[in-house]
Amino acid sequence: MINIFGNSPELQLEKDASSKYLPIVIAAMVFLAALALMGLFSLHSAVQNWSTAVSGNLTVEIAYEEGQDLDKKMNKASQILRNFPGIEEVNPLSIDDAAKLLEPYLGRADIIKQLPLPRLIEVTISEGSSVDLLAAAKKLSTEVPGAILNTHRPWLDKMIVLARSVQFLAGAIMLLVSIVTVIIIVFAARTGMVMHHAIIEVLHLIGARDSYIAQQFQNYFARLCLIGAFPGLICAIFTMEFLSFLAGRLEAGLISAPSMIVEGWIALAMVPILVALLTTITVRWIVMGSLKRMM
C-alpha cells in the first residue's frame, strides 16, 4: 500500500522550494471545482423540485373586466373544477391574497388592490391521477368567459433548458480545472526530476529501483495536493452556504435557496481523495517515463 504521508529520505523533496506553492494552487483549483460541483448538484435538485411542484399544480386565471362580477365567475369556475375527475383541491385566491403575493414586487398591498388585477384559483391534482387538461381548459373557457387554465409547462421547460445549460457549463469548468491541475502537477514533477537529477543517478548506481524513486515523488506530491485540497474544499462549502443564506433572505417565491442532495455531499467528500489519486497517477507516469529515458 502506498503511504502518501511517508517522507523521501534520500531525495529530501520536503526541502524543495520549487513546489512549496503547489498547495496554494491546488487549493484554488479545488475551490473552483467544488463550487462547480455544488452548483451542478444544486441545480439538479432545483430542477427536480420545480418539476414536482409544477406537475401537480395548475392555476386558473380569470381576466379582469370592467363591470363584471369576478367573484361569481370564480365561484362558477371553482365548482366546475371541483367536479372534474382527478382534481384534489381547488383554492380560490381573494383579492387580498393576490395583493400579498405581488407585494414583494409592486409595493404596498393596499395600493395593489386598487389595480385591475385578474383573479386566480390554485388547483392541485390528485397524486397518481391524470387530468384531461384540454377538456378542462375548453370547459372553463366555454362556461366562464375570460378563464384561462395555466399549466406552467412552458415556463418550466424554459427553466429546465437554462438549468441544463448551466449544468453543462459547470461540467466544462470541472473538466478544465482537472486538465489545468494535471498540467501544473506535470510541470512540478518534471522540475523536481531536474533538480534532483544527480541524486537520482546515485540512487540508480547503488541499485535503487525506479518504482522506489517514483514512490518518493508520488508520496510527496500527493501529500502537497491533500494539504491544498482540504482548505480549498472548506472555503467552497462556506462560500456556497453563504450564497444559500443570501438567497434565503430574498423572501421571493420564485427564487429558492440552493440545496445539496446527499449524492452531492458524497461527491464533495470524494474530491480530496480524487485529487490525491489523480496526482499519484500523474506523478508516477511522469517520473517512470523520465527514469526510463535516463537509463
* Mean confidence (pLDDT) of the chain: 79
Q: Are 40 and 167 in contact (CB under 8 A)?
A: yes
Of the two residues 153 and 240, the one the predictor is more confident about is 240
CA atoms within 13 A on the CB side of 261: 13
Structure-block grid coordinates of residue 263: 449524492
**If you average pLDDT over residues 18-34, what whole number do you get?**
88
30 confidence band (pLDDT: 50, 70, 90) = very high
Task: Please state, in angstroms and as integers, the Cα–Cα distance from residue 4 to each residue in 215, 226, 232, 235, 270, following that order.
Answer: 9, 9, 19, 24, 17
Considering Cα of 105, then 106, then 109, then 115, what sign does the dihedral take?
negative
Most confident of 51-55, 127-131, 186-190, 225-229: 225-229
Q: Are 83 and 69 in contact (CB under 8 A)?
A: no
**If you average pLDDT over residues 52-68, what whole number do you get?**
74
Residue spans of the domains in the chain: they are 13-51+156-294, 64-145
Inform me whether the pLDDT recorded for 255 exceeds 70: no
Inform me whether the pLDDT recorded for 224 exceeds 50: yes
Q: Are 275 and 30 in contact (CB under 8 A)?
A: yes
Considering Cα of 95, then 101, then 104, then 106, what sign does the dihedral take?
negative
Considering Cα of 197, then 198, then 201, then 207, what sign does the dihedral take?
negative
**Interval 83-138: pLDDT, tens:** 877 777 888 887 777 777 777 667 676 777 777 778 888 887 777 666 677 777 78
Q: Residue 10 has what pLDDT? A: 61
- Please list the residues that pair with 147 across neighbouring strands: 62
29 confidence band (pLDDT: 50, 70, 90) = very high
Q: Residue 235 has what pLDDT? A: 93
Inform me whether the pLDDT recorded for 50 exceeds 70: no
Most confident of 135-139, 142-146, 155-159, 223-227: 223-227
**Interval 146-199: pLDDT, tens:** 788 877 667 777 777 887 888 888 889 889 988 998 998 888 888 888 887 777
Q: Are 276 and 4 in contact (CB under 8 A)?
A: yes
69 confidence band (pLDDT: 50, 70, 90) = confident
Inform me whether the pLDDT recorded for 2 exceeds 50: no
Sheet strand arrangement including 147-150: 87-92, 119-125, 57-62, 147-150
